[in-house]
Structures are given as C-alpha cells and as structure tokens.
Amino acid sequence: MKKIYLSVLTLLAAGSLSAQGFWTPTAYKGAFPVTDGMSGTTSNNWAAGWANWDPQNASYAGTNVTVSADITANTTWATGSVVLLQNKVYVTNGATLTIEPGVIIRGDQATGGALIISRGSKINAQGTQTNPIVFTSNQAAGSRNLGDWGGVIILGNAKNNQAGGVAIIEGGLDPVKGQFGGNDDSDSSGIFSYVRIEFGGIPFQTDKEINGLTLGSVGSKTKIDHIQCSFTNDDSFEWFGGTVNAKYLIAFRGLDDDFDTDFGFRGNIQFGLVVRDPNIADQSSSSTSEGFESDNDASGTEAWPHTAPVFSNITVVGPYRGSTSNSIDAKFRRALRLRRNCYTSVFNSIFTDFPTGLHLDGSAAQNNALTDSLRFENNLFSGMGTNLDATMPGTIPTWFTNNNNTTTANNASTLMVSPYDFTAGDYRLVGASPAATGADFTDGFIGLAGCSSVVGLKENKTFTAIGNVSLYPNPAADALTVDVQLNNNEVVTVSIFDITGKLVSTVVENSEMNAGLNSVKVSTTNLTNGLYFVSVSSGNFVKTQKLVISK
C-alpha cells in the first residue's frame, strides 16, 4: 500500500480549478463574459492583444533565418528571428525546439514548409499576449491565401484507437517520423501558448491537407492555450486520439471543420471561438463544412479508447452572419455533426447562423446520447435554418429540450457586442443576453465536485481507472484519510470542493500512484463545519465522495 502524507494546500480562488486543475466555472454561456461596460476596454476579452483579425494585410518583416532540415538537437529560435520554413521540418531524436516570444515563422509555398514535432520530441513555444509567436504565409501582404504552406503538427505517445495503437498522421508524412500513438496518456510534447497559425493547409495529398494545428496522440501533460488558426485550407484544429487539454482557441475563417475530433481523443477544451466566412467552404466531393465534426473512428466501430472529449464555453458564429436569407456557400451544413459512434460532449456554449444546428448522425451516436454519456447541455442555438437535423428520430428533440438547451429564431437576441465585424469583432455578451447566465458545471460535468464522469458507460464498465474511493473518518474533524483503489498505475489528482462546487484545495496534483490501495492523509484543520466533496481524478475518470466536517 502506497501512503502519501500531504496537508491541505493554501486556499485557492473560488472556481479557479477543477478536480483536474482545468475547468473554470462560469455563470455565462459561450467563450466570452459580459463586457465590462467601459467603452473601448478589453480587460475581460481574452482574445485582445494577441489575436489578428486581418492577417491578409498584416505587415511581417523579411526572413533572416532559413530552416530547411530536420532539427535533431535542442534548438532555439530567438526573439527577433524571422524564419523561412522550407520543406517538412521534423523535430526529432528527442530534441526540444524553443521558440521565443515574437518570432515570425513564414512557411515556404514552393517547398511546402511545415513543422512537425515527432514523438518523444518537444515544442517550447511560449509567446505572450503582447508578443505572440506567428506562423504565417511567406507571400506578400494582400497576396496570401488558404493553403500557402503546411501547418503545425504535434505528435505524442498517448493512446489512440487505431489498430496496434500507432499510425501515421495524415498529410503525406514520413512513415517513421510521422507516427503518432503509444501507451502514455500523461505524455508531454511541451508547451504551445500564444501562437497564431495563418494560411496553412497545403495539399500534400489529395483531400489530405495538413490542418492549421494537428494533434496526434498528444498527452495530458502538454500545455496548449491561446492559439488562433486563421484561413486554414482544411480543419482549423484536429485531434487524432490523445488526452491533451486546451483553452482559448480561435478558428477564424477556415475551410473545412473547425474542431475535428477522431480516433479516441479524450481531452477537455474550454473557451473556444469559431468564426465562419460565408464564401469559404470545402469544395471536395467527399466533405462538407461543419463547426464540429466528431468520429470514434472512420467506420464508427467500438474501438477503444472512444472519442469522448468534453467541450465547454464555445462560441460558434456561422456563415449566415445575421440572417438565414443571406447567401452562403452550399457546402455549409451543420454547426455540429457528431457521428460514427462518438461520445463527444458539449456544455455551456453558443451556436449561431448555420443551416442546421445539431446532427447526431447515425444510430450509434444517437444511442450514445439517449442511453449513454454523449452529453449536450445548457447550450444556446440562435439564428439557425433549422435547429435539429430532420432525419433524427423523434426522441432527440425531447432529449435536446430536457437537457436545458434553448433556441431563439433571431440571432440578434443573443446580444454579442459585434459578432459580424470580421476585422474588429467583439464576441463578448451584452448584460441582457440570454447567455449571460445559465451555465451549469454541476450536473454530470466531468471533473467538478459531486459530478459523475462524462465517460461512456461501456468504458466505465471495462476500463475505469479508479476502482474505489473511500473516506475515513467521515464525519471528520481535523484529519482525514482518502483511500484510492486503482486498477493500474495512474497519475492521480485529489481535490476538495465546497457544497457550491468551488475548489477549496488541491491535495494531490498529478501524482504517480501504484495499482492497488493508495492512502492519502489530509489535514482538515482549515476546513469549517459543513458538507464538502472529495474528488479523485485520473485522466478523464473521476470519482467523488461526500465529506462532512464536524468539529
């Protein structure tokens, strides 16, 4: 039996962390809060200062560094560098590529410049709000277009559901250096923060363009936040398996899908913005343009791990841009197409301006919603041609309504500040917006106190990481023991929440625990009398027990 002796850590800000140190509970739905009401201020707009709404005309300096060969040793691109990226450049051999704030990387069109972080290697790209890192086209201002260069691909050792657990990422990559997948869901591929990726998606293979940001089996210890993918010639973001979490993502005027999840991706995504252009949609014969597209695998099998990501606080502004009578490309279809036996869940989000809001495509995805744990709750649809795909069975509209999803015919009633200005959009809410309140982080929401996990029942029956959690004494006064029974060696977080769901403390964070019984000793001297919840999480598995403090 492994014993861990830890006292309760310093009290943290209310709602700042979840049991997994990730979710930020909000009162509002969508990606942005209510504006602070002061004209011209952006203090509560997380896109301010680093995002660019007019990259076609941005002025970028000429290149002063050329990179055209693989990176096989630790390398730094220093602030002030403007890199010409030629060919497919792999970071391999366990190397780390560090990119300092303000570096500009201009992808070469003639050679199909692309950056690929191979398994076992790392990216350390940490821009800042005032000095982001930019991957962009090498074409002149005014001449840039979708697919001018490749894009960024990060590959890791986390699990996917491909045969054998290892596959080659799409896009015509090297059959060895382009592999993704393994058995380490807590793998780290580094840090990718405050980064813009513009005009990617060159078609190395027919209908197999590189995306803006491609994540193949990237593990949960990788840090990804504040990423904008603009004018991508395929998907803005695509996840192939893995467990990486991400916050503050922008998909701006891309071609195909904005958030595409496949092959067993199980990460958590919070705060995302999608903005579509009515004239930019995928024209390939085998594809349509969606906001969300999600598959368990290409055939919709029961391959494990299931595709079961959780999204919250997403704002999607579709191509109609204010009126269903506006002209849009015929290839636009749905804000969300959840299909092929996926378990993708979406909470507390706003979707507007698509021909169709939600399509649970196929009986498997429909059954996962009706009888298992594909969750769609507390979301707002506004200004859709139709809210629900008409081919779905009659039980789906009832399920939709019963899960506190609401609709408005007039998308203006959503009351965002200026959602239809491409070059100066402000996607925050006006105080009277119906999305200003009503978000819910308590009913079945993964990782928060008193909540069950949003992992498929089939997976819980067979693959759950946490066997049992018990507390004693309970009620407790000044000391508590948390017994955690694990089925395998796991990375575990133990947290305490109060009755409102606010985080009180993180007792154990991402600690390696052994299969079998693990005992965590906790000092509760700082807790006042009342009801609390002790939450134990590992990956996307969470178990929660009630705790009474009585002194």
Residue 162 predicted with pLDDT over 90? yes
Q: Does residue 15 share a domain with residue 120?
A: no
DSSP 83-140: EEE-SEEEE-TT-EEEE-TT-EEEE-TTTT-EEEE-TT-EEEEE--SSS-EEEEESSP
Ranges 90-99, 203-212, 421-430: which has the least confidence:
203-212
Given 330, 362, 391, the domain boundary residue is 330
Higher-scoring residue by pLDDT: 280, 450: 280
Given 288, 312, 330, the domain boundary residue is 330
- Residue 398 falls inside a structural domain: no
Residue 273 predicted with pLDDT over 60? yes
- Residue 40 falls inside a structural domain: no
Which residues, 6+ apart, have CB-to-CB distance to 405 below 8 Å?
A: 376, 377, 378, 379, 380, 381
Q: Does residue 258 share a domain with residue 185?
A: yes
Three-state SS letters, 365-392: HHHHHHHCCCCEECCEEECCCEEECCCC
pLDDT for residue 21: 56
Residue 10 predicted with pLDDT over 80? no
d(Cα 339, Cα 341) in Å, to the nearest integer? 6
CATH code, domain with 488: 2.60.40.1930
Q: Does residue 78 share a domain with residue 7?
A: no
Residue from 178, 159, 54 nearest 114 by CA:
178
pLDDT for residue 501: 66
- Residue 427 falls inside a structural domain: no
pLDDT for residue 372: 81
Q: Does residue 16 share a domain with residue 146?
A: no
Residue 172 predicted with pLDDT over 90? no
pLDDT for residue 512: 87
Q: Does residue 140 share a domain with residue 221?
A: yes
pTM for the model stands at: 0.82
Which residues, 6+ apart, have CB-to-CB distance to 366 below 8 Å?
A: 360, 392, 393, 396
Q: How many helices (H) and strands (E) does the chain have?
A: 3, 39
Residue from 18, 15, 19, 48 nearest 31 by CA:
48
Task: Name 498's bridge partners.
Answer: 532
Mean pLDDT, all residues of the chain: 89
Q: Does residue 287 share a domain with residue 208?
A: yes
pLDDT, mean of residues 46-62: 97
Please write the tens of the pLDDT for every residue from 238-272.
999 999 999 999 999 999 999 999 999 999 999 99
- Residue 412 falls inside a structural domain: no
Residue 248's CB is within 10 A of a number of other CB atoms, namely 22
Q: Does residue 287 share a domain with residue 141?
A: yes
DSSP 304-372: SS----EEEEEEEE-TTTT-TTS---TTB-EEEEEETT---EEES-EEES-SEEEEEESHHHHHHHHHS
Cα-based angle 173, 179, 180 (whole degrees, multiple of 5): 125
pLDDT for residue 179: 98
pLDDT for residue 536: 85
Residue 15 predicted with pLDDT over 50? no
Residues recorded for the chain = 551
Given 276, 301, 330, the domain boundary residue is 330
pLDDT for residue 255: 97
pLDDT for residue 322: 94
- Residue 33 falls inside a structural domain: no
Residue 71 predicted with pLDDT over 50? yes
| Residue 411 per-residue DSSP state | G
Task: For strands 167-168 and 179-180, give the pairing.
Answer: antiparallel
- Residue 450 falls inside a structural domain: yes
**Total number of domains in the chain:** 2
Q: Which two tokens stand for residue 117?
A: 């972080």
Residue from 210, 204, 193, 298 nearest 254 by CA:
210
Helix (H) / strand (E) containing 519: strand 516-523
Q: Does residue 90 share a domain with residue 8?
A: no
Residue 492 predicted with pLDDT over 50? yes
Residue 207: left (phi > 0), alpha (psi -120 to 50), or beta? left
Q: Does residue 234 share a domain with residue 102?
A: yes
Query: Residues 12, 505: contact at Cβ < 8 Å?
Result: yes
Higher-scoring residue by pLDDT: 345, 373: 345
Higher-scoring residue by pLDDT: 211, 489: 211
Task: Name 408's bridge partners.
Answer: 382
d(Cα 254, Cα 212) in Å, to the nearest integer? 9
pLDDT, mean of residues 188-201: 98
d(Cα 221, Cα 509) in Å, to the nearest integer? 12
pLDDT for residue 445: 52
Task: Report percent pLDDT > 90 for the chain.
Answer: 75
Please write the tens of the pLDDT for every residue from 306-345.
999 999 999 999 999 999 999 999 999 999 999 999 999 9
- Residue 417 falls inside a structural domain: no
Task: Report percent pLDDT > 70 for the chain.
Answer: 90
Residue 468 predicted with pLDDT over 90? no
Q: Does residue 125 share a domain with residue 12?
A: no
- Residue 369 falls inside a structural domain: no
Please write the tens of the pLDDT for every residue from 436-462.
999 987 654 544 433 334 444 444 333
The parent domain of residue 167 ranges over: 67-330
pLDDT, mean of residues 87-115: 98
Residue type, position 40, single letter: G
pLDDT, mean of residues 375-385: 96
Q: Does residue 97 share a domain with residue 11?
A: no
Residue 8 predicted with pLDDT over 50? no
Alpha carbon of residue 278 to chain centroid: 24
Residue type, position 319, single letter: P
User: Confidence band (pLDDT; 50, 70, 90) for 500?
Assistant: low
pLDDT for residue 442: 67
Task: For strands 246-252 and 503-513, give the pairing.
Answer: unpaired
| Residue 176 per-residue DSSP state | T
Please write the tens of the pLDDT for every residue from 109-129.
999 999 999 999 999 999 999
pLDDT for residue 509: 87
Q: Does residue 217 share a domain with residue 157?
A: yes
Cα-based angle 363, 244, 87 (whole degrees, multiple of 5): 105
pLDDT for residue 425: 92
pLDDT for residue 489: 82
